[in-house]
Amino acid sequence: MIQGKYHTVIDELPYDRQELEELYYNELEELVVQYGAKMRWGPEKRQSWRPGINAVDPTLKDNNDDARLTDYPAIKKLFDSFNFTPALDPDDIDILVYDKGYEFVPHVDFKQNGVIMFPILPDDGGTPITYYTIPGLDLEKYTKFHDLDKDKYIDYVYKYSTEFPTLSNGMCIHGVGPIEKQETRVYLRFKILKETYDDIVSKLKEGTFVK
């Protein structure tokens, strides 16, 4: 593991970005829909219908409501590589596809205590993630900081690895973008809902997280 303040590179597990890219272009790109549609959410989830964030919906293939991303061997082998407690549900992973120009304003995540990200496109990981720190502020889940003085409170910028997955802490202020205009951005994401970022880091230190 290579640990940063708010992120950890899981260098115990190399992944094949090119294999995922080929899978995306050959089989998954045609299954991309708006994120709210993929999640089957109604209009009350306004943030999920914001233009620019999309996801692969595997159930669209052959109109099979039981289909999951883990049906694809390239994804299943990554899914099976970690010891989550309790075991991760296949519905807790997704492939996100962002439109050019999309921006994640600085925010703290809602249900996700953390995520594990596998960049697929572009081949260099694309626009980096920026982490911010406001001294003395008690953070709450699902808080957005639209008017944040980014220059004042920036902590550091991290360019995602495309060789190893990256664990990122959802309970800190972070943002991405705007996505560069020439960039096609596709990421495989594992959502950590029942454990904390620190739980995963502890297991990485013990050598018990990666199988």
Rounded Cα–Cα distance for residues 26 and 21 (Å): 8
Please check whether residue 211 lies inside any domain of the structure.
no
- Asked if residue 103 has pLDDT above 80, the reply is yes
Structure tokens at 149: 């003085």
Q: What's the pTM? A: 0.94
- Asked if residue 46 has pLDDT above 70, the reply is no
- Asked if residue 47 has pLDDT above 90, the reply is no
Query: 26 — phi, psi (to 5°)?
Result: -80, -30
Mean per-residue pLDDT over the chain, rounded: 93
Angle at 46 between CA 41 and CA 155, to 5 degrees: 110
Beta bridge partners of 56: 32
Query: 100 — phi, psi (to 5°)?
Result: -60, 135
- Asked if residue 44 has pLDDT above 70, the reply is no
pLDDT tier at 185, thresholds 50, 70, 90:
very high
How far the first Cα of the chain sits from its last, in Å, is 14
Please check whether residue 29 lies inside any domain of the structure.
yes
Q: Which residue has the higher pLDDT, 47 or 63?
A: 63
Please check whether residue 136 lies inside any domain of the structure.
yes
Per-residue model confidence (pLDDT) at position 39: 85
Per-residue model confidence (pLDDT) at position 152: 96
Domain CATH code at residue 80 = 2.60.120
Q: Which residue has the higher pLDDT, 74 or 179?
A: 74
Please check whether residue 43 lies inside any domain of the structure.
yes
Q: How many domains does the chain have?
A: 1
Question: What three-state secondary structure class fits 161?
Answer: coil
**Percent of all residues in the chain with a pLDDT value above 90, rounded to a whole number:** 79
Rounded average pLDDT over 29-41: 90
Place of tokens 């502020």: 137
Q: How many CA atoms lie within 13 A of 19 on its CB side?
A: 12
Span of 5-19, 111-125, 135-149 with lowest mean pLDDT: 135-149
Q: Which residues contact 110 (CB under 8 A, 6 or more apart)?
A: 141, 142
Domain that holds residue 151: 2-206
Q: How many CA atoms lie within 13 A of 182 on its CB side?
A: 2
Please check whether residue 107 lies inside any domain of the structure.
yes
Rounded Cα–Cα distance for residues 69 and 123 (Å): 21
Per-residue model confidence (pLDDT) at position 143: 86
Rounded Cα–Cα distance for residues 3 and 169 (Å): 11
Q: Which residue has the higher pLDDT, 142 or 196?
A: 196
Per-residue model confidence (pLDDT) at position 140: 83
Question: What three-state secondary structure class fits 59?
Answer: helix
Rounded average pLDDT over 40-66: 83
